[in-house]
Structure 1
Amino acid sequence: MTTEILSLAKYLASSRSEFTLLEMNQYLSRKYEEKDLHAVLKPHFYDLDLFCSADYKCTKLVKGPLPSDEGIISELEEFFKNPELPLSMEKLIEAYIERSCGKNWHKGETATQIRENIVKQKEEYWKGEGKGKEKVKVKGESRYPMIRVISYLLYHFPVYFCQYQYLLLELFKGGVLMNKMSIVDVGSGPGTITLSTLDFLRKLQDIYSRNKMDVKLNIRIGSIEHELENIRCYRELTSGFLLSGNANILNSNITIDESVHSPVETAPVPGDVDLMIFSNVLAELRSLPHERADVVERIASVSKNPTLIIIEPADLDNSKALRVSQHALIKKGFNVYSPCSFIWGRLCSGINCWSFQEPGNIKVPGFMEKIADTEDSYRYLNTDMKFSSVILRKDRLTKHAYRAKGKIMALSNLKKHIKKHINVAVSVMSGNLGDEKTFVSKICDGTASFPCYAVMPVYHMSENNRALIDAGYGDIIEISGTLVRENVEQSSFNLFITRNTIVNIVG
């Protein structure tokens, strides 16, 4: 049955721009209900380059960038002004926790054990060890085998879910996201990245629909995960989200492959992949940062031109380690799409670089409020989005193609111009590191071996220099008439911004 139907579908897909499933009965050895034909073909729509609508009309899908005009981007950005989990996702997670730990999971002994595990997991996280992983169970530690996964869902999941969509937004605005994509979630845990991707596509399709735009999507998502408890959770949450009426993704064929059960280091290499995500997984490996690049390169080795996203914690050690891994991948033939821009056309060393994105806070989901309803509630509330990341490609495509020109000085020459006014072009590589009185932003142009900061007292803020505050993470700015100061104690340099300094966003 399957072979005959699939062979016919392949023929029709190659010879027609569209056909209905009902038409297939003209050529098959027996007649089938449309829903039965759809069920047989659904796992193959991606490979057949077909989109099949709810009325069983199949259309040949030509791969191309998702429409991303200014109006669509503006509507999409509205979602990011108040980041939060969708209600359907909140309900799914809480229902999963109830099935695992009972309806009173947030009370009594159960809540105490979960809170203790959250604290333990936070400590592991900052050491690069935690991600909902089911470690060897210590006798008497907990009567709930899923305690670590539950703790992860309650504490880490909401922030990871929301912050990843900022990177998808960046790719969307750059025309990198396609209507047909193969995606692999590497080290998926209980499905945070996959679920975040599905929700992003749901938001996008809702906007297309409101604007009367017929944009068809054909998406296949695979995953690699070592822990069986995470795989079970991944399967339940992803299927539940897709079946949820409130999470319906319009005009989309979504295929979720069965997770590959394997350590990341030895996992089978997936086929040609468009988007590959390593979210908080490389830091968990028992290898040096530059050796982690070998793991990434191997998994991406079959893909012709993948977009790779690597996300790690924003603390000093993990952020620095990410840049070392990034530099090693550049040596292996990858190029940085963002956040780094090599303004002078030469690469940095990747050493001692601490850079992170800080989009803001998310709304506290209901289940997090429940577990935090205790003394020292702050221990169990996690709303601050703050992470280090890099997006890599193989085709030299970059977010910014800007190169320094004119009377611009490289940051590597600052030591020769202490107490002088100069002009520079730099990338903004942090949010505000200062306070309400002084705005401080980490800056880089790829040439300096020491940290550099743009420093602007609030009383010096003017229309001339406000672009320093308006610039987003990774944006390139030109600064004209800034004073060079050396911070000997911190082995760094500050570029002092006054009301007469001119700052423009470029690139």
Structure 2
Amino acid sequence: MSERDILLALERRAGEKPEFRLSELQKDLAAGQSLEDLAGEVRPQIDRLGLTIRPSDGDYVIGRRAGPLTVDDAGRERQAAFFRNPEVPETIQHLIESYITRKTGKPWDDPAVLDRMQNAILVQKSRYWKEQRVSYRKAYQVLGYLAYHAPVYLVQFEHILWQIIDRGLAKPHMRILDIGTGPGVVPLAVIDLLDRIGSASAEVYAVERSEEHLEAYNALVPAAAAAMGDRVQVKKPTRGDIGEIAAGDLPDRIDIMVFSNVLGELRHMRIEERADLVAALAEQLAPDGTIVVVEPADLANATALRQTVRAIADRGLTIHSPCSFIRGTACNPARCWTFEQKGDIRPPRLMERLAEGKDGYRFVNVDIKYSSALLRKDARVQHAYRVPPGAKFARFSHLHRHVDRTINVVAALMSGNLGDDRTKVYKVCDGTPADPVYVVVPATLRGQNRDALRDIAYGDIVRFHGVLVRFNKDHGAYNLVVLPGTRVEPAA
């Protein structure tokens, strides 16, 4: 059976109807191998013809490539309502509680079980703040993760996945690979969001090195997906270390490849080595696929993420967001501490029980703050805006020339309000600064400019006409002070 035979058979079937099954093609070709092996053979020709292939009821469905995933108004409202009052869905809470009960042989809220989880959480937090690698080789280390970290990470990834969908980067059927999946928080978020919006399907692949994490994954993720029929196909996770796995050991044509709270754990690797790793694994990405990199919002991890993402871009991928290189120059991320913040989640039952008693606050983790980036193979970016030649906007790299003067600038908004209700502070960037730059709305300012940035989204480009430049010697940073006469407007 030659490539030409496959190509002709695919063309004939695709010309007859918009969708057909691989078993039909198998009969046409008189192919003797399994459907799974045949799927591997036909995939290169499917890509050439602009078709797609997805598993369905023990077979595969081949069809014409659709446009980006669209979500109807009802699905959008359901997801918006979830983000207004985010919490771990009841079904996932129940799965986690049931797993703890099976794993320990005691009720999930047994005092002895809760006590051991509390101890595991305290050890994890201590190692994290000491910038030491956190181990998940023992049962209670994983149970502590499920209780303390997983709720926030689940909702956090739903925010990221919704961004991908909302920006037209997602497909009606997606192949998703979560590298360093842990107990499967990212796949659980995918399942929950797709179930809520009522559209799209996915194949979910995962890589994890910890046996304890994999045990939890296998108990939670397939069970969560089962309620969706065949819309989410959960593949058997691959056991392996991210630093040692080869690209060829992973599935190909991945639409979304996720590194969630993983690269920062590779403390034995330099930034350049982490970038090499991601670039190598990106060989498995579809031509229009997306890489997601996520890390915690603290200074060390968030800054390292920006440095790693910049290094990945140097290896041929494109930073889609949140960074916008509006001056057409590469940035210097050495001091780039920027992150997103979303609304707090409601504590799940397990977290509430852990928080009972003295010092219970140590076991409450509800605020969503994270640093992230999307990268693409196809050079697609969120904002194509570039500062027009000759435009009267000062570069941030030239701010030292304008201290105590009023100037015009254009930049991307790279944070929410880092100050308080009185003095508002926002990080901004135009891709050129060596030192951090912040827009400051002083407590004394009155009028409409107090809320000029309230409705500007993270990563969007803003023009500021008439801001006062100050240099903060204590922090080695520039402040752009908004005045009563300053004009703030989104860039076209």
TM-score (normalised: structure 2)? 0.86
Aligned 8 A contact 1:68 1:175 in 2: no
Cα separation, 1, equivalents of 2:464 and 2:72: 29
Cα separation, 2, equivalents of 1:414 and 1:71: 48
Summarize the Cα distance change of 1:478–1:74 in structure 2 as closer, same or farther, 3 Å threshold. Answer: farther
Aligned 8 A contact 1:360 1:386 in 2: no
Q: State how many pairs are aligned.
A: 462
AA aligned opposite 2:281: I
| Local SS of the residue matching 1:91 | helix
Cα separation, 1, equivalents of 2:223 and 2:81: 26
| Local SS of the residue matching 1:500 | strand
| Local SS of the residue matching 1:264 | coil
AA aligned opposite 2:340: Q
Q: What's the Cα RMSD here?
A: 3.1
Q: Which moved more, 1:45-54 or 1:279-288?
A: 45-54
Q: Which runs of 5+ in 2 are unaligned?
A: 1-8, 29-34, 47-51
Summarize the Cα distance change of 1:12–1:124 in structure 2 as closer, same or farther, 3 Å threshold. Answer: farther
Deviations 1:158-213 (A, max 9, x none): 000001111112111210000122111000100011111111111221xx6xxxxx
Summarize the Cα distance change of 1:57–1:123 in structure 2 as closer, same or farther, 3 Å threshold. Answer: closer
Decide which of 462, 466, 479 is 2:447's aligned counterpart: 462
> How far did residue 12 of structure 1 move?
9.4
Cα separation, 2, equivalents of 1:224 and 1:348: 32
Cα separation, 1, equivalents of 2:206 and 2:340: 25
Matches within 5 A, 1:4-43: 14=14, 16-17=16-17
> How far did residue 15 of structure 1 move?
6.2
Q: Which residue of 2 aligns with 1:493?
A: 478
Decide which of 163, 173, 181 is 2:166's aligned counterpart: 173
Decide which of 279, 285, 288 is 1:297's aligned counterpart: 279
Cα separation, 2, equivalents of 1:198 and 1:228: 23
Summarize the Cα distance change of 1:16–1:268 in structure 2 as closer, same or farther, 3 Å threshold. Answer: farther
> How far did residue 79 of structure 1 move?
2.3
Matching of residue 262 in structure 1 with residue 262 in structure 2: no
> How far did residue 342 of structure 1 move?
0.9
Decide which of 87, 100, 104 is 1:84's aligned counterpart: 87
Q: Which residue of 1 aligns with 2:260?
A: 279
Percent sequence identity over aligned pairs: 34
| Local SS of the residue matching 1:460 | coil
Deviations 1:408-428 (A, max 9, x none): 111111111111111111111
TM-score (normalised: structure 1)? 0.83
Deviations 1:234-267 (A, max 9, x none): 12111110224xxx37xx6322111111100111
> How far did residue 75 of structure 1 move?
5.3
Aligned 8 A contact 2:426 2:438 in 1: yes
Q: Which moved more, 1:490-499 or 1:73-82?
A: 73-82
Decide which of 347, 351, 368 is 1:385's aligned counterpart: 368
AA aligned opposite 2:245: A
Matching of residue 448 in structure 1 with residue 433 in structure 2: yes
Decide which of 64, 67, 70 is 2:70's aligned counterpart: 67
Matching of residue 94 in structure 1 with residue 97 in structure 2: yes
Aligned 8 A contact 1:426 1:445 in 2: yes
> How far did residue 115 of structure 1 move?
0.5
Decide which of 362, 379, 383 is 1:400's aligned counterpart: 383
Aligned 8 A contact 1:310 1:389 in 2: yes
> How far did residue 108 of structure 1 move?
3.2
Q: Which moved more, 1:305-314 or 1:466-475?
A: 466-475
Aligned 8 A contact 2:155 2:189 in 1: yes
Cα separation, 2, equivalents of 1:197 and 1:327: 27
AA aligned opposite 1:438: T
> How far did residue 302 of structure 1 move?
3.5
Cα separation, 1, equivalents of 2:273 and 2:296: 18
Matches within 5 A, 1:338-377: 338-377=321-360
Aligned 8 A contact 1:224 1:260 in 2: yes
Deviations 1:365-390 (A, max 9, x none): 11111111121111001001111111
Aligned 8 A contact 2:98 2:108 in 1: no
Aligned 8 A contact 1:260 1:267 in 2: no
Summarize the Cα distance change of 1:260–1:448 in structure 2 as closer, same or farther, 3 Å threshold. Answer: same
Summarize the Cα distance change of 1:151–1:57 in structure 2 as closer, same or farther, 3 Å threshold. Answer: closer
Q: Which residue of 2 aligns with 1:335?
A: 318
Matching of residue 473 in structure 1 with residue 458 in structure 2: yes
Q: Which runs of 5+ in 1 are unaligned?
A: 1-8, 29-39, 136-144, 209-216
Q: Which residue of 2 aligns with 1:213?
A: none
Summarize the Cα distance change of 1:325–1:431 in structure 2 as closer, same or farther, 3 Å threshold. Answer: same
Q: Which residue of 2 aligns with 1:482?
A: 467
> How far did residue 453 of structure 1 move?
0.7
| Local SS of the residue matching 2:285 | coil
Cα separation, 1, equivalents of 2:374 and 2:95: 30
Deviations 1:11-59 (A, max 9, x none): 99656426899x97xx89xxxxxxxxxxx88x969968467889x9967
